[in-house]
Structure 1
Amino acid sequence: MTAISAIDSGTFRRVLGHYPTGVCIVTALEPGGAPVGMVVGSFTSVSLDPPLVAFFPAKTSTSWPQIEQAGRFCVNVLGSDQRPLCQQFSAKDGDKFAGVTHRASANGSPILDGVVAWIDCTLEAVHEAGDHYIVVGRVMALEVERPGRPLLFFQGGYGEFVPFA
C-alpha cells in the first residue's frame, strides 16, 4: 500500500473552491436569552426520514459553543441581495444583530427578516471531524419566506445562481 502524501491547505482550498456553496446564518438564543448567530457555507440536507440537516462549524468558532448550549437553532438561507447581512454576521466583534429585525421560531430561535427560507431545528448530534464539527439538526419546522436566488460562495467570492431558461 502506498502512503498518501500530505495535502497542503492552499491546494485543498483552491480545488474545493471550484464547488459553490450556499450561504446561511445559523441563529439561536444562548441560555442567557441573547441572540447568537454565525455564517456557514457548509450546510446540507442529510435525511428525509427523519428530516435531518447538517452544518460544519470550525472548532475555533466562538459562536458555535453558544449555539450548542442552546440545543436548538434556525438555519436562515440568505438571498443574493443579503451580502451585507452575511458580512455583518461574519464579523468577529460587535453586535451581529444590530439593526437586524427578526422574530422567534416555534423553538425560540431567531428567524431573520428577509431571508429566502428558514429551517428550525433541535440539536440531534455533534461529531468531531478534523478541525471542524459535524452538527446534525432534526428539522422541526421550515418555510420559504420569499422568492429569490440564494447567496453563493464560489472561488473566494459571492454571487448568485441563475437557472437555465
Structure 2
Amino acid sequence: MSTAVTEPLSRDRALRRAFSLYPTGVVALAAMVDGAPVGMAVNSFTSISLEPALVAVSAARTSKTWPQLSSVPELGMSVLAADQESFSRRLSAREGDRFGDQARTVSPGGALLIEGASLWLTCRPHATYDGGDHEIALFEIADVQVFDDVEPLVFHQSRYRSILGDAPRP
C-alpha cells in the first residue's frame, strides 16, 4: 500500500479553494458608457439593507472594466439564468465582444439589463470602501424586477452549476 504525499497549498490557493465552497449567483454588472455597452460578471454580490435598499459588489483592483462601471450614474445588475453560462464566460473574458447578440434592455439612466436573467436591479452608486485587493461598492436599488420562473446560474467550486428543482417530499 502506498500513501500519496501532498504538498500543502499556499495560503492564497487554500483561501481560493475554501471560498469556492460557498455557492454564489452570477451577476452581470453593465451600463452604457459613451454609447457602448460595458459589462463584467461578478459573483461577489450580496444584499445589505432593505431601508435604504442597498446591495454590495466587489471588484478586483486589477479589473480594466470596473473603473468604467464604477463611475456611471446608473448601473444594471442582472442575476444570470442557468442557461446563460456562455454569456457569463464572454462577459468574464479580458478581450473580445462581450455582448455579441445578447438581448438587453437599457434604462433611461443608462443601466444595461440582460434579457432572460432571473433578476434585474437598476442601481445608483451609494458608497465605496477599501477591500484590500478589491474595491467594495454599495449601490442603492432604484428599481427591481423579479422573474420567478427563471432558474439562476450558480458558481460553486470554481464551476458553473444550476439549482435543481425541489425534490418530492415523502
Normalised by the length of structure 2, the TM-score is 0.88
Alpha-carbon distance in structure 1 between the residues aligned to 2:75 and 2:67: 12
Do the aligned partners of 1:107 and 1:120 also contact (CA within 8 Å) in 2?
no
Q: Point out the structure with max Rg over C-alpha.
A: 2
Secondary structure in 2 aligned to 1:92? coil
Aligned residue number for residue 4 of structure 1: none
1:26 aligns with 2:1: no
* Structure 2, unpaired ranges of 5+: 1-9
Q: Deviations over 1:46-91 (max 9, x none)?
A: 0000000011110011111001121321111111111011011011
Alpha-carbon distance in structure 1 between the residues aligned to 2:101 and 2:38: 14
1:9 aligns with 2:7: no
Q: Deviations over 1:105-149 (max 9, x none)?
A: 243211111111110000111111110011100000010135122
Aligned residue number for residue 134 of structure 2: 132
Do the aligned partners of 1:115 and 1:146 also contact (CA within 8 Å) in 2?
no
Moved over 4 A (4+): none
Q: Deviations over 1:7-49 (max 9, x none)?
A: 710110111111111101000122x221100000011100000
Secondary structure in 1 aligned to 2:71? helix
After TM superposition, list the pairs within 5 Å mapping 1:82-97 onto structure 2.
Answer: 82-97=84-99
Secondary structure in 2 aligned to 1:36? strand
Mean CA deviation greater in 127-136 or 68-77: 68-77
Secondary structure in 1 aligned to 2:86? helix
How many residues align? The count is: 158
Letter in 2 for 1:48: L
Mean CA deviation greater in 36-45 or 94-103: 94-103
Do the aligned partners of 2:24 and 2:154 also contact (CA within 8 Å) in 1?
yes
Alpha-carbon distance in structure 1 between the residues aligned to 2:83 and 2:103: 16
RMSD after superposition? 1.4
Do the aligned partners of 2:124 and 2:139 also contact (CA within 8 Å) in 1?
yes
Aligned residue number for residue 68 of structure 1: 70
Do the aligned partners of 2:28 and 2:39 also contact (CA within 8 Å) in 1?
yes
